Structure 1
Amino acid sequence: MRELNNEEEAAMSFLACRVSNESGEVSHQLTTMEVDQLTAGDVVIKVEFSGINYKDALAATGRGKIMKQFPLNAGIDLAGEVVSSESSDFKPGQKVVVNGCGLGEQFDGGLAAMARVSSDFVMPMPDGLDARLAMTLGTAGFTAALALHRMQVNDQTIDKGPIVVTGASGGVGSIAVNILASQGYEVIAVSGRPEHYDFLTQLGASQVCSVDALELGAKPLEKGRFGGVIDNVGGELLAKLLAHTNLWGNVASIGLASSHELDSTVFPFILRGVSLLGVSSTNCPMPLRRDIWKRLGQEWLPNALSDIITDEVALSNVSPVFSEILDRKRFGRVIVNCQK
């Protein structure tokens, strides 16, 4: 593949989902841009696939304060092919993946046919993955894998008991269920959407139920029932699950679908050695980021990816999906074909 010169590159027009803030009103529109309008970077990438994450939906609709500046292209992850590079680490034609690192928050993101990013953010495509597979996983899969990594580093083992996954029918939750089950953990998938219980069972959950069916207590320390938790919900549910976690279990906090608040006590920590682990995909150190993606392409590659991807949409059709995700009308992973 021939590297484009500066004039050729700057003249390339492409479609992008651009978010703006006009007098405090945040909205998005599909618009045509050129490369020289993008935020600065030394690697230009033809985006083949991206994904629509919960955070993307919040950013594009203005229902969450995600973006640090405007206007900005949405999309916290992307996979594609290098068009040009000022860095010796990447060459035209090379397949790459980018997720987190401020993409779609501080810098123009992946919901566009082209992206320009810092080479510090770019990773070669891991063995075992292509652009479509990488974005079927996306930041959702990366976050689920990062949670499991943090738990295992802190000695999470199968014999400690079942792992509860809350918000299990979403992108992070569904991939977490499948990875955990494939690694031999007993998984309790918690979802308020009974229509997706068969889906979660198919992904490997040993038990699928609502929060109410768990019959959680309200005491500061309850009977230990769970070996660990991957929580997408926050708030009261997270506090109750901490109180039910077994000795030396780990609780990974990933999201705040219910609330950002946590009203708990120190009892699970000082009487049972329970650990509450934070999981931040945006600013994960690059060496660890590369290692997690390597494992996602190998031993942690979900065995039910074809089930986890529930829709593929063209970039021109992303707008309705944002509200559908926030209104819980979607499940699993929705990926975006940015060249279609």
Structure 2
Amino acid sequence: MTEKFQAFVVSEKDGQVHATLVDQNFDSLSTKGVIVKVAYSSLNFKDALATQAKTGVVRSYPLTLGIDLAGTVVKSNDPRFVKGDEVLATGYGLGVSSPGGLSEYQSIAADWLVPLPAGLTLKESMIYGTAGFTAALAVAKIHEHIAKDEQVLVSGASGGVGSIAIALLHKLGYKKIVAVSRKNTATKWLKELGATEIVTPDTLIPETIRPLAKQQFSGIIDTIGGELLAALLPQLHYEGVAALCGNASGIKLNTTVLPFILRGIQVFGIDSVNQPMAMRQKIWNLLASDWKITSQLKVQEAPLKDVETITQSLLTGTHEGRSIISM
């Protein structure tokens, strides 16, 4: 193993946050975890937020960023993993309170590692990454409650979670998938993923949001939050379901109890960070087999040195699809 390796590290000084590539010594890795030679990580909106001051993502500085990774075990003191095992990790404290996946090597708690499922390569696992895992959890809720001939809306459709959710819904046989996107350039590829209709957010947000509106959607996968979600909940059908997994437009939700008590709607919060291991393995096995859609996704592969540029595109809203980082 090399004595030095590179990592994308965020630091703070005098209230200013800086994120850049840093050379690190191999002996800086914790000996308490399983040491993984990282092959791929992916970039998510949360990673981009972590490069900014006062976003609440990073618990302490300095910290290696990256909320997911896939790679090969090079050293382990845990009997569950041996040298040569291929593994992946998402969530928990990665890139938030513990060093993350945007690094050529990383030490990971054994309890956080998922053995790479048969049917997936390391690269494919990060084409999904945190976004794919989150999307699959949300789709599982829709699949559990909503019939395939009913209309399902996906907000933030051109982003990682939204685009993967559309592809998964289509794979599962949903026939009426409404994609919400402001980007005209995304129309063609969203339809190729399985969207049957593309709408812009402004068409869904009335001048005055009423407690109850015309019932248009049986299911919603929302990656945006904020005003759009407030406008969508009154448009759910009787006993409709919303799966919430993002807050790109804000954390506040101005709504009433009426859709809940007069139409019996259900809202599910989708947390991909602290999912129990049994659910993690179930979802990853589905993504490797019956739900596999990696070949359909829009993917950009880039080296570690390009992380800063890609995070800026995530912050400005110009990013589309998935970006994976090869080490």
Counterpart-to-counterpart distance in 1, 2:193 and 2:140:
20
Please show how residues 208-247 of structure 1 align to structure 2 within 5 Å. Answer: 208-214=198-204, 216=206, 218-247=209-238
Change (3 A) 1:215 1:29: closer
Unaligned 5+ runs, structure 2: none
* Residues 140, 172 of structure 1: 8 Å contact kept: yes
Please show how residues 287-306 of structure 1 align to structure 2 within 5 Å. Answer: 287-302=278-293, 305-306=294-295
2:239 alignment partner AA? W
1:168 alignment partner AA? A
Q: 1:40 deviation in Å?
A: 5.9
* Residues 304, 325 of structure 2: 8 Å contact kept: yes
- Equivalent position SS for 2:51: helix
Q: 1:82 deviation in Å?
A: 0.3
Q: Name the residue aligned to 2:99.
A: 108
Change (3 A) 1:252 1:40: farther
Counterpart-to-counterpart distance in 1, 2:44 and 2:243:
19
Q: Name the residue aligned to 1:4.
A: none
Counterpart-to-counterpart distance in 2, 1:69 and 1:156:
42
2:54 paired with 1:58: no
* Residues 40, 118 of structure 1: 8 Å contact kept: no
- Equivalent position SS for 1:111: coil
* Residues 205, 228 of structure 2: 8 Å contact kept: no
Q: Name the residue aligned to 1:206.
A: 196
Counterpart-to-counterpart distance in 2, 1:63 and 1:172:
24
- Equivalent position SS for 2:46: helix
* Residues 167, 296 of structure 2: 8 Å contact kept: no
Please show how residues 67-216 of structure 1 align to structure 2 within 5 Å. Answer: 67-153=58-144, 155-159=145-149, 161-185=150-174, 186-214=176-204, 216=206
Change (3 A) 1:275 1:242: same
Q: Name the residue aligned to 2:240.
A: 249
Unaligned 5+ runs, structure 1: 1-8
Equivalent pairs, count: 325
Q: 1:219 deviation in Å?
A: 1.1
Counterpart-to-counterpart distance in 1, 2:19 and 2:139:
34
Give the fraction of aligned pairs with identical amino acids, expressed as a percent: 39
1:322 alignment partner AA? T
Counterpart-to-counterpart distance in 2, 1:290 and 1:246:
32
Q: 1:223 deviation in Å?
A: 1.5
Counterpart-to-counterpart distance in 2, 1:48 and 1:191:
32
Counterpart-to-counterpart distance in 2, 1:63 and 1:204:
38
Q: 1:105 deviation in Å?
A: 0.3
* Residues 136, 309 of structure 1: 8 Å contact kept: no
- Equivalent position SS for 1:318: helix
Change (3 A) 1:38 1:25: farther
* Residues 204, 232 of structure 2: 8 Å contact kept: no
2:315 paired with 1:326: yes
Change (3 A) 1:307 1:301: closer
* Residues 312, 336 of structure 1: 8 Å contact kept: yes
Counterpart-to-counterpart distance in 2, 1:328 and 1:308:
18
